[in-house]
């Protein structure tokens, strides 16, 4: 029997931020290599055999987490690409909580330090990447609206489930 596909966890973005970042990715990412929309990866390879437990953890966590402010703070080099830097203390706290809960099952990549970013360019010559970073990017504000879980099967990701952060006031009597 084949081992279950690893799982990827991403942060869901508000529509305006997603549209802006996805347009940048489509503009700067080599089209023949771009199989995904813009995304902010929280975990790269969660164990697929723990899907039910991960889903349960994420449902509870998302239900108690309000949408979080994000600051898209400019560009940083990835060597052969560029990424939009994301600043958000609540995002760092959320990921730290998940690392603590899942630590024994995380890959070395997912245990290491977390520098939130959205890759908008990759697989290019270092000179092209440096040129894009030198152009800069005006910072802008956005919102993390939830988390999305994906199966990784070697190509484009396969959606599993979305976990929306709670909205203030939703579900309260009299509102």
Both tokens of 127, joined, read 């000179």
CA distances from 124 to 7, 40, 103, 141 (A): 27, 20, 33, 28
Burial of 49 (0-12, 13-18, 19+ CB in 10 A): middle
CA 20 to chain centre: 15
Model confidence pLDDT, tens digit, residues 26-45? 999 999 999 999 999 999 99
The CATH number corresponding to 7-164 among 3.40.190.10, 3.90.1140.10, 3.20.20.100, 1.10.10.10 equals: 3.90.1140.10
For the residues of 35-84, what is the DSSP string, one character each? -S---EEEEEEE-GGGHHHHHHHHHHHHHT---EEEEEEEEEE-SSSEEE
On average, the pLDDT of the chain sits at 94
Per-residue pLDDT band at 1 (split at 50, 70, 90): low
Is 0.95 topped by the overall pTM? no
- Sketch the domain layout of the chain as residue ranges: 7-164
């Amino acid at each position: 029997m084949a081992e279950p596909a690893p799982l990827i966890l991403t942060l869901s973005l508000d529509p305006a931020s997603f549209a802006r970042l996805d347009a940048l990715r489509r503009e700067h990412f080599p089209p023949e290599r771009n199989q995904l929309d813009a995304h902010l990866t929280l975990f790269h390879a969660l164990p697929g055999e723990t899907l039910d437990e991960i889903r349960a953890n994420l449902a509870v966590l998302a239900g108690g987490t309000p949408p979080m402010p994000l600051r898209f703070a400019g560009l940083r080099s990835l060597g052969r690409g560029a990424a939009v830097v994301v600043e958000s203390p609540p995002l760092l706290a959320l990921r730290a909580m998940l690392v603590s809960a899942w630590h024994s099952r995380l890959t070395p990549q997912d245990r290491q330090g977390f520098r939130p970013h959205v890759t908008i360019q990759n697989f290019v010559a270092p000179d092209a990447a440096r040129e894009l970073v030198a152009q800069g990017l005006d910072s802008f504000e956005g919102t993390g609206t939830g988390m999305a879980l994906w199966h990784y099967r070697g190509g484009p990701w396969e959606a599993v489930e979305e976990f929306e952060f709670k909205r203030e006031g939703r579900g309260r009597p009299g509102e």
